[in-house]
Amino acid sequence: MTALNGFKDLALRKKTDVDAPAHNLGRPATINDIARLSGVSKKTVSRIINNSPLVRKDTREKVEALMREVGYAPDPLARGLAFRRSFLIGMVYDNPTAQYVVDMQNGALDALRGSSFELVVHPCDTRSPGYIEGVKRFVQQQKLHGVILVPRASEDQALADMLDEIGCRFTRIAALPLDDTSQMVITHDRDGAAEAADYLLSLGHRDIALITGPTAYRSAHERTAGFIEALQNRGIELPPARIIEAGYTFESGVAAAEKLLLGKQRPTAIFTGNDEMAAGVYKVAMRAGINIPRELSVVGYDDSPLASRLWPSLTSVRRNTRDTGRTAAAMLIQPEGKSALPLASVRPHLVVRDSCQPPQD
């Protein structure tokens, strides 16, 4: 019986080294060590670990001092077993852009730093039929404390429903609010695209084209809507031929740009739904000898590293992905009742570089 042993040890200690607090146990301290050495019960130590208010202030301070002294940290495995919930936050994503994924991870880790939580990653393929089962196994088996859903996985209602059903809390990251019940971080892609439109308008462009991502994606839909709306607000209506839906990939950007640039009447500016597709526009323009920015202005979305690597460097909408990840993780590890804000916002903004100029005529 652990507890009894604890008390026997305490008795021994009292005789020998109660005045010499060199608590050196040659192994990681446990809650029993802390209880024994500070003369309180395990349960009181547990209350202190879990920030219960039901502990006298001086008791708390005494015990916390001892914890620091011996370098005590509670075992997440043992806590997890007792809580029936681990100290692991899962990140579920289906996104091909490495920088976006890494930024999101780093943001989440920012929020987890100093807490007892760690981040476990789960890329998946939302087009494969079994992927929801895969996430379910991941969540249930590891008894995850919570999950961060990254676009486009965050947009799959079936995934969210499954998580609700098994009682797993989660935070969704999305371009706009998807429902009223789940926690969300909203990235306001509509505003970012509008800023891009306003910028091109302010330079004097009027014949503008748009290469969108797959509009089944919320992000693509919002960026498209935001861009078109902003133009309309200034009295400019985009003709259908100036809007091309592509696939968020470099290759699809190349194909879209060929339609736009190799015809007789080309636009003076192009806004693309992400930087990958903007790189496709660059390739076509380069090959065709169209000078960016003199003959063609280009604005991307993401502000990925690619934006500054391209030449001329690409003006692009920055998404503040790291902040998004940090916010999402922070919502998840917040103590239960405590101001559980269901919604948070991260706002994009335009980063101006060298890829735009007033149109020549």
Sites of contact with a copy of itself (CB under 8 A): 28, 73, 75-78, 80-81, 86, 88, 98-99, 101-103, 105-106, 109, 116, 118-121, 123, 137-138, 140-143, 250, 276, 279, 282-283, 286-287, 305-306, 308-311
> Under a CB-based contact definition with an 8 Å cutoff, are residues 93 and 321 in contact?
no
Residue 238: how many other CB atoms lie within 10 Å? 18
Residue 88 interacting partner from DNA, a copy of itself, none (CB closer than 5 to 8 Å by kind): a copy of itself
Nearest residue to 174 (alpha-carbon basis) of 359, 342, 356: 342
CA distance 76 to 91: 19
Q: Which is nearer to DNA, 43 or 294 (CB)?
A: 43
Residue 309 interacting partner from DNA, a copy of itself, none (CB closer than 5 to 8 Å by kind): a copy of itself
Residue 185 interacting partner from a copy of itself, DNA, none (CB closer than 5 to 8 Å by kind): none
CA distance 70 to 34: 9
Q: What is the DSSP string of 80-110?
A: HHHHTS-SEEEEEE----HHHHHHHHHHHHH
Per CB under 7 A, 53 contacts DNA: yes
Phi, psi of 174 (to 5 degrees): -150, 160
Residue 43 interacting partner from a copy of itself, DNA, none (CB closer than 5 to 8 Å by kind): DNA
Q: Tell me the number of residues near DNA by CB under 7 A.
A: 33
Beta bridge partners of 245: 212
Find the binding residues for DNA in span 92-131 (CB under 7 A).
none
* Segment near DNA (CB under 7 A); pick from 46-54, 106-114, 207-215, 249-257: 46-54
Residue 54 interacting partner from a copy of itself, DNA, none (CB closer than 5 to 8 Å by kind): DNA
Per CB under 7 A, 311 contacts DNA: no
Tokens of 190: 């509509």
Q: Residues 6 or more apart from 102 whose CB is under 8 A from it?
A: none
Residue 41 interacting partner from a copy of itself, DNA, none (CB closer than 5 to 8 Å by kind): DNA
Per CB under 7 A, 43 contacts DNA: yes
β pairing state of 183-186 and 170-174? parallel
Q: Is the dihedral of CA 44, 46, 48, 52 positive or negative?
A: negative
Q: Which of 13, 46, 70, 312 touches DNA (CB under 7 A)?
A: 46
Note the residues at the interface with DNA (CB under 7 A). 1-3, 28, 30-32, 40-47, 49-50, 53-57, 59, 72-75, 78-79, 81-84
